[in-house]
């Protein structure tokens, strides 16, 4: 398709503003690694929260949602909606603990919580395993979406897209550091949301659709509108589908699977942002804002565009016919999203392309800064050159940013589907989530536990992918992987020595974790007179879990209430609104009893 001069001008203006933000912030204080990777720990909660949302609003997300809706309907989104439970657990239990630790990266946690050679190895290995391997895969997935979108909307080849996005993102990420990422995230998220809402409104009012009410009456989408399962889904052939898109995500996946941005117990770039907050309360508010916006605010424009795509492009051949220049390996249901955007008029098309580029670059820039922080803080400074100056470390950070972008760009050219990469990441992280939740509250978990969990989950993922292959369903692979990995790390925990007591006492005195899982450590420290007087107002673990439950109810009610409002189902709007109000009131009461208000 042909972009007009107006469209190109809008896109060029977006790139210009993005680079200017990075250059402007490069002149600000960036003298230490704390400045470069955490913004000096002076970031406001609303900036951090928006940055989290912007990072998870990547260019591949609407493609992924479109793929899900076209295959499994709106209800299929439970494969990621279920991660709200993880998110709210982070808000009400882990955000304060991360900020209280005072560390620079979440990998530094390992030598704070564990001891010995195993802890050192774990920190160094995961710096490369997560900071490079996993990071590259995630950025490649995001870049793949950019390749598909630019191929349809801009006529760019995969190589041209990779070069354009890589160069500009590296410039502002490496020059501006964490503050450059945070402030560009804010600008890019505002543009991305504005573009998506406007595009959704325009598409729904196209003559072929005839408005929202007309779309909802179309027979092509009648089986796709449900948000929650009915009793009919629990019988017959529908049960197998329901297992994968609802039962397993809600019952098992959210607490047992490690996935970037939704790590059980927090972690990754979410932890990085919590660690950059001014204090513990701002870390809590930031993660709360993130979860509200991520689940209740953003999804519906994508969902409605995905439903509309089924009218214009009912199957894959219809997409291929419309865009004959797209490589056949790239033609999947996720391509329906950029295909719908090709219907937009001049001006609006430029804004939407700029907004998608913004979503793409905000995610990549975060992963570049986050991955670079691992390479610098947890590998180079810790194991290669401990005496390195702050100036040298920042230079290494900038070099590693360029290196990560280069590797991710090359890897992106080998992927074909966002859903494919999503499923690979879920399988590799299967079974590790419970450990990440419990390690804060059970003293017995040690470095060997984490090493075994990491290697076991990867081992079983490889076995399922290359040996078992199609002889097991994806659901069976995930459940089996979770079970086997969990057994491996629990057995390893019980047959190996615990972390030495002095390390555990230091950790307990610093973090003040709740619950009875640290009783042996508390008794040991008290007998030696080493137990620190608790200066932090403690709320009970039960209180935190109740806040998580009602917080989840509140956000799910807002998510579904918005959906029922769109569907015109007044009774269901009233029910979900009532649940939201009751949940909000209970949260207020519990909040006042905790140490977070």
Which DSSP string do the residues of 497-563 spell out, in sequence order?
A: PPPPHHHHHHHHHHH---SSTTHHHHHHHHHTT-PPP--SPPPPHHHHHHHHHHHHHHHHHHHHHHH
pLDDT at position 236 is: 59
- 53 vs 241: which has the higher pLDDT: 53
Contact 450, 110 (CB under 8 A): yes
Residue span(s) of the chain under CATH 1.20.1730.10 come to 39-416
Of the listed ranges 234-243, 247-256, 361-370, 389-398, the least confidently predicted one is 234-243
Of the listed ranges 125-139, 149-163, 287-301, the least confidently predicted one is 149-163
Contact 146, 334 (CB under 8 A): no
pLDDT at position 361 is: 81
Assign 579 a pLDDT band (cuts: 50, 70, 90). very high
Cα angle for residues 566, 244, 489 (degrees, 5° grid): 125
Assign 191 a pLDDT band (cuts: 50, 70, 90). confident
Assign 533 a pLDDT band (cuts: 50, 70, 90). low
Architecture of the domain delimited by 39-416 = Up-down Bundle (1.20)
Over residues 107-146, the pLDDT tens digits come to 999 999 999 899 999 999 989 888 888 888 888 877 887 7
Question: Is residue 39 exposed (0-12), middle (13-18) or buried (19+ Cβ within 10 Å)?
Answer: buried
The whole-angstrom separation of Cα 113 and Cα 119 is 8
- Residue 257, beta-bridge partner list: 430
Closest to 183 (Cα-Cα) out of 25, 354, 13: 25
The whole-angstrom separation of Cα 189 and Cα 355 is 8
pLDDT at position 385 is: 92
**Rounded average pLDDT over 581-585:** 95
CB atoms within 10 A of CB 299: 22
Taking the mean position of all CA atoms in its chain, how far away is CA 317?
Answer: 32
Dmax over Cα atoms in the chain, in whole Å? 78
Residue 370 has pLDDT above 50, yes or no: yes
Looking up tokens 């570049």 gives: 368
Assign 550 a pLDDT band (cuts: 50, 70, 90). very high
Closest to 369 (Cα-Cα) out of 18, 32, 25, 37: 37
Of the listed ranges 65-74, 156-165, 231-240, the least confidently predicted one is 231-240
Listed ranges 35-44, 248-257, 373-382; the one with the highest mean pLDDT: 373-382
Cα angle for residues 345, 348, 350 (degrees, 5° grid): 105
Contact 144, 128 (CB under 8 A): no
Enter the tokens of residue 50.
Answer: 């928006």
pLDDT at position 364 is: 85
Cα angle for residues 362, 418, 153 (degrees, 5° grid): 65
Kindly report the average pLDDT of the chain as a whole number. 85
The whole-angstrom separation of Cα 54 and Cα 488 is 36
Residue 153 has pLDDT above 70, yes or no: yes
Residue 402 has pLDDT above 50, yes or no: yes
Of the listed ranges 68-72, 360-364, 489-493, the least confidently predicted one is 360-364
The whole-angstrom separation of Cα 358 and Cα 367 is 14
- Residue 199, SS3 per DSSP: helix
Question: Is residue 24 exposed (0-12), middle (13-18) or buried (19+ Cβ within 10 Å)?
Answer: middle
pLDDT at position 189 is: 85
Enter the tokens of residue 150.
Answer: 């630019």
Contact 190, 293 (CB under 8 A): no
User: Which whole-number Å values give the CA distances from 109 to 40, 130, 267, 272, 440, in the listed order?
Assistant: 19, 14, 10, 12, 10
pLDDT at position 180 is: 78
**Rounded average pLDDT over 68-87:** 92
In the chain, what percentage of residues exceed pLDDT 70? 92
**Rounded average pLDDT over 283-311:** 92
Residues with Cβ within 8 Å of residue 389, at least 6 apart in sequence: none
Half-sphere exposure (Cβ direction) of 557: Cα atoms closer than 13 Å: 18
Assign 422 a pLDDT band (cuts: 50, 70, 90). low
The whole-angstrom separation of Cα 283 and Cα 540 is 19
Looking up tokens 């160094």 gives: 124
Indicate if the alpha-carbon torsion angle 99, 104, 107, 111 is positive or negative. negative
Contact 421, 143 (CB under 8 A): no
Radius of gyration in angstroms for the set of CA atoms belonging to the chain, rounded to a whole number: 24
**What is the value of pTM for the model shown?**
0.87
Task: Write phi, then psi, for 277 (nearest 5 degrees).
Answer: -70, 160
Closest to 255 (Cα-Cα) out of 516, 108, 72, 429: 429
Residue 488 has pLDDT above 90, yes or no: yes
Contact 181, 173 (CB under 8 A): yes
pLDDT at position 421 is: 60
**Rounded average pLDDT over 290-315:** 92
Residue 430 has pLDDT above 60, yes or no: yes
H/E element, 113: helix 109-113
pLDDT at position 536 is: 47
Residue 238 has pLDDT above 80, yes or no: no
Assign 237 a pLDDT band (cuts: 50, 70, 90). low
Closest to 433 (Cα-Cα) out of 257, 242, 179, 310: 257
Residue 104 has pLDDT above 50, yes or no: yes
- Residue 43, beta-bridge partner list: 277
Task: Write phi, then psi, for 514 (nearest 5 degrees).
Answer: -90, 170
The whole-angstrom separation of Cα 285 and Cα 95 is 9
pLDDT at position 539 is: 57
Residue 593 has pLDDT above 80, yes or no: no
Over residues 341-368, the pLDDT tens digits come to 888 898 888 888 888 888 788 888 888 8
The whole-angstrom separation of Cα 565 and Cα 574 is 9
**Rounded average pLDDT over 405-432:** 71
Residue 530 has pLDDT above 60, yes or no: yes
Listed ranges 256-260, 402-406, 475-479; the one with the highest mean pLDDT: 402-406
């Amino acid at each position: 398709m042909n972009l007009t001069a107006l469209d190109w001008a809008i896109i060029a203006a977006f790139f210009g503003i993005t680079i200017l933000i990075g250059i402007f912030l490069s002149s600000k204080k960036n003298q230490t690694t704390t400045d470069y990777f955490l913004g000096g720990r002076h970031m406001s909660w609303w900036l951090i929260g928006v940055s989290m949302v912007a990072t998870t609003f990547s260019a591949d997300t609407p493609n992924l949602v479109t793929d899900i809706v076209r295959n499994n309907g709106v209800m299929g989104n439970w494969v990621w909606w279920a991660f709200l439970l993880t998110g709210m657990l982070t808000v009400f239990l882990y955000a304060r603990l991360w900020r209280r630790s005072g560390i620079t990266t979440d990998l530094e946690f390992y030598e704070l919580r564990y001891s010995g050679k195993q802890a050192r190895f774990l920190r160094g290995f995961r710096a490369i395993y997560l900071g490079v391997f996993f990071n590259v895969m995630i950025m490649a997935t995001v870049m793949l979406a950019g390749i598909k979108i630019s191929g349809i909307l801009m006529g760019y080849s995969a190589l041209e897209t990779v070069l354009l996005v890589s160069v500009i993102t590296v410039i502002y990420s490496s020059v501006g550091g964490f503050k450059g990422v945070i402030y560009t995230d804010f600008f890019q998220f505002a543009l991305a949301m504005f573009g998506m809402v406007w595009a959704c409104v325009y598409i729904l009012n196209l003559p072929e659709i005839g408005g929202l009410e007309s779309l909802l009456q179309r027979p092509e989408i009648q089986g796709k509108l449900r948000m929650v399962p009915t009793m009919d889904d629990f019988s017959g052939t529908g049960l197998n589908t329901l297992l994968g898109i609802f039962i397993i995500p809600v019952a098992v996946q959210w607490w047992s699977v490690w996935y970037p941005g939704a790590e059980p117990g927090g972690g990754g770039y979410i932890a990085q942002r919590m660690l950059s907050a001014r204090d513990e309360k701002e870390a809590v508010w930031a993660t709360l804002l993130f979860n509200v916006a991520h689940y209740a605010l953003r999804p519906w424009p994508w969902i409605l565009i995905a439903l509309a795509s089924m009218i214009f492009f009912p199957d894959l051949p219809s997409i291929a016919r419309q865009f004959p220049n797209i490589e056949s390996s790239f033609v999947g249901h996720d391509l329906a999203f950029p295909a719908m955007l090709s219907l937009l008029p001049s001006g609006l098309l430029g804004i939407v392309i700029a907004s998608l580029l913004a979503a793409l670059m905000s995610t990549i820039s975060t992963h570049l800064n986050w991955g670079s922080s691992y390479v610098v803080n947890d590998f180079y400074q810790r194991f290669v050159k401990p005496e390195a100056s702050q100036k040298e470390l920042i230079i290494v950070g900038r070099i590693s940013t360029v290196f990560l972008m280069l590797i991710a760009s090359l890897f992106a050219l080998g992927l074909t589907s966002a859903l494919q990469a999503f499923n690979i990441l879920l399988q590799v992280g299967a079974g590790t989530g419970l450990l990440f939740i419990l390690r804060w509250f059970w003293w017995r978990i040690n470095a060997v536990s984490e090493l075994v969990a990491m290697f076991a989950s990867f081992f079983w993922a490889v076995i399922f992918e290359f040996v078992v292959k199609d002889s097991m369903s994806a659901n069976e692979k995930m459940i089996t992987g979770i079970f086997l990995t969990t057994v491996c790390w629990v057995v390893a925990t019980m047959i190996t020595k615990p972390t030495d007591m002095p390390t555990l006492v230091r950790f307990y005195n610093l973090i003040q974790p709740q619950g009875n899982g640290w009783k042996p450590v508390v008794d040991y420290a008290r007998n030696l007179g080493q137990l620190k007087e608790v200066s932090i107002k403690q709320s009970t673990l039960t209180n935190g879990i109740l806040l998580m439950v009602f917080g989840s109810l509140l956000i799910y009610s807002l998510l579904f209430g918005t959906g029922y409002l769109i569907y015109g189902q007044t009774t269901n709007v009233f029910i979900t609104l009532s649940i939201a109000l009751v949940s909000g009131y209970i949260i207020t009461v519990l909040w006042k009893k905790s140490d977070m208000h």
